[in-house]
Amino acid sequence: MAGVDEAGRGPLAGPVVAAAVILDDQQPIKGLADSKKLTARQRERLFDEIRAKALCCCIAEASVEEIDQLNILHATMLAMKRAVEGLRLKPGLVLVDGNRIPVLKVPAEAIVKGDDKVQAISAASILAKVYRDRLCLQLHEAHPQYGFDQHKGYPTADHLAALREHGAIDAHRRSFAPVRAVLDLTARSEP
């Protein structure tokens, strides 16, 4: 059985990331929980332990361009499908956090609040979150004026202010209203 979850549906920048994990019953991992309920330090520690002990796992993403082209829901489903298809072992069942499932070649079930109920989904949630947070740190190094290390791309007051002041970069999702509004303002102010 594989657990699947995503990170990054709400941010204004960066890809949406999904992970699929098949845990090894012979190597239990203590402390698995919904990634949002763990500290950054706990997630980092568990990320390495999951990668070391899981039978297999795969982290996949859908790009900013795919998000803008497909919309965030369909891009999320695409990232999840890629994560499942990237597993070294074919699962007999896929359990997906939430109320929707991607189109897969194996049986799948959606579980609302699955990241609290199913350890494999908790593990997937942690992998996706840590991986995406690391991408945001790379974005911060390239564009420190936006503060990606703090808000991880979410539409905080600081991020919105930076977006208005500095404009959008390639990592911003152009189909999201706050980014589109800044781009429209920029287009109108150009001669």
Per-residue pLDDT of the chain (191 residues; tens, 9 = 90+): 999 999 999 999 999 999 999 999 999 999 999 898 999 999 999 999 999 999 999 999 999 999 999 999 999 999 999 999 999 999 999 999 999 999 999 999 999 999 999 999 999 999 999 999 999 999 999 999 999 999 999 999 999 999 999 999 999 999 999 999 998 877 776 65
- Return d(Cα 179, Cα 177) in angstroms, integer: 5
pLDDT computed for residue 189 by the predictor = 65
Q: Which two tokens stand for residue 92?
A: 């007999």
Token duo for residue 46? 């568990």
CB atoms within 10 A of CB 86: 15
Whole-prediction pTM:
0.94
- Residue 65: CB atoms within 10 A of its CB come to 13
Residue 190: CB partners within 8 Å, gap ≥ 6?
none
Query: From the CB of residue 47, how many other CB atoms can be counted at a distance below 10 Å?
Result: 22
